[in-house]
Amino acid sequence: MDILYKNLLDMDFRYVIMWIIGGVLIYLAIKKDMEPTLLLPIGFGTILVNLPNSGAITQVLSNGTVEEGALSTLFDMGIANELFPLILFIGIGAMIDFGPLLSNPKLMIFGAAAQFGIFFTLCLASIFFDQNDAASIAIIGAADGPTAIVVANKLNSQFLAPIMVAAYSYMALVPIIQPPVIRLLTTKEERKIRMEYSGKEVSKLTKILFPIIITIVAGLIAPASVSLIGFLMFGNLIRECGVLNSLSETAQKVLANLITIFLGITIASQMNAEKFLTFNTILILLLGLVAFIFDTAGGVLFAKFLNLFLKKKINPMIGAAGISAFPMSGRIVHKMGLKEDPQNFLLMQSIGVNVSGQIASVIAGGLILNFFM
């Protein structure tokens, strides 16, 4: 009974707010099917760490003894040393088919253009935060959770928890965020533009060499990105080599899902009320939203700019698929094209741009690390 009374006395209204936040994340995961493998463990973990004197996180007892918590240990083992994000990249790499991009390499330029929001937000965030925190916040715009974790961790950002939550939450909210921005920046006629897909055959040798070449080139351009791009491309090499099919399937499904669950509940270890319920958290969430919106806008506006000089017009919506949220962003663009014209099939082009965005976001993260480390 003494423990119960003590815990009741230690209750704080902020804990209740965090329980509500955790409950909302669980609701979105179950009812709305928004990234359930990630939002469900984050939501439940948020409740775990916001119980008075929770044994899930490390506590300093009244006698000075340090009692290690399981989630804090997982954080030190998997997030602090960037192990979980990098292993997850192997699974993501194994999921990606670079065929649509390799059959039309020009699509790579849209992946680069859609990183505009990162650098715009970097300038904006620098007004409110020091340069390392501003750079860590800006990378939310990469729409790439693992990259956001690695960059924020390497730059020793004090806002790792809200950055991680913003990065993954906005990834889940891509179907809500992107369509209004795309509609605002395009006309109905532009959204109806059809693009022919000439499915050129891509040789097996090309698919094997591609991840190796990209790793070397990215390493020369942005050495700090080598671990990120290297693990991503290693996963893709497992997929394309043709001799590790069972390992490729395991990486795509079992490994990726398992690591995502551990990643989610470990992220929650940093979501205790004292750290999370601050004005800076709200500001970070707003800046992350700005980064997402301007990434989408950057890709769309770049496609519209190219159309000024092209006889064969590009559907500017595909520029929005240049963010790293694979394959959600590519599918959204395809669905929006079909809504305007049931015969307007943009899936292969948008997926090609989408996978180029995956590469571009990692390189952008590496460039930021090179500049600020």
The number of residues making up the chain comes to: 373
Query: Residues near 47 by Cβ (< 8 Å), separated by ≥ 6?
Result: 18, 19, 22, 23
Confidence (pLDDT) at 118: 92
> Rounded CA gap, 101 and 115, in Å?
17
Put residue 33 in one of left, alpha, beta given phi > 0 → left and psi -120 to 50 → alpha.
Answer: left
Distance of CA 367 to the CA centre of its chain: 17
What phi and psi, each to the nearest 5 degrees, are found at residue 311?
-75, -40
Encoded amino acid at 197, one letter: Y
**Model confidence at 1: pLDDT above 60:** no
Looking at mean pLDDT, say which of 52-56, 224-228, 303-307 comes out highest: 303-307
How many structural domains is the chain composed of?
Answer: 1
Residue-wise pLDDT tens digits, 231-283: 999 999 999 998 999 999 999 999 999 998 998 898 888 888 888 888 999 89
CB atoms under 10 Å from CB of 357, counted, come to 34
Residue-wise pLDDT tens digits, 157-183: 888 888 888 887 788 778 888 999 999
Q: Taking a C-beta distance cutoff of 8 angstroms, is the pair 322, 111 a contact?
A: yes
Confidence (pLDDT) at 10: 61
183: tokens are: 């509609």
**Model confidence at 134: pLDDT above 90:** yes
**Model confidence at 9: pLDDT above 70:** no
Encoded amino acid at 139, one letter: I
Encoded amino acid at 99, one letter: G
Query: Residues near 113 by Cβ (< 8 Å), separated by ≥ 6?
Result: 298, 299, 302, 303, 319, 322
Instruction: Cite the DSSP H helix spans in 222-340.
Output: 226-240, 245-250, 256-267, 273-276, 279-307, 328-340
**Domain limits for position 115:** 2-372
Q: Mean of the pLDDT values across residues 322-330? A: 83
In this structure, what DSSP letter does residue 118 have? H
**Model confidence at 4: pLDDT above 60:** no
Exposed, middle or buried by CB within 10 Å (0-12, 13-18, 19+), for 342?
A: exposed
Residue-wise pLDDT tens digits, 196-241: 877 678 899 999 999 999 999 988 988 888 888 999 999 999 999 9
pTM for this prediction: 0.86
358: tokens are: 């995956």
> Rounded CA gap, 80 and 265, in Å?
14
96: tokens are: 């990606």
Confidence (pLDDT) at 197: 76
For residue 89, CA distances in Å to 36, 62, 212 come to: 18, 41, 15
Widest pairwise Cα distance in the chain? 79
171: tokens are: 């990834």
Residue-wise pLDDT tens digits, 12-36: 788 899 999 999 989 988 988 877 8
Angle among Cα 148, 290, 125 to the nearest 5 degrees reads 70
In this structure, what DSSP letter does residue 66 have? E
Nearest in space to 180 (alpha carbons), one of 32, 289, 305, 315? 289
> Rounded CA gap, 366 and 364, in Å?
5
More confident residue, 185 or 62: 185
pLDDT above 70: percentage of residues in the chain? 96
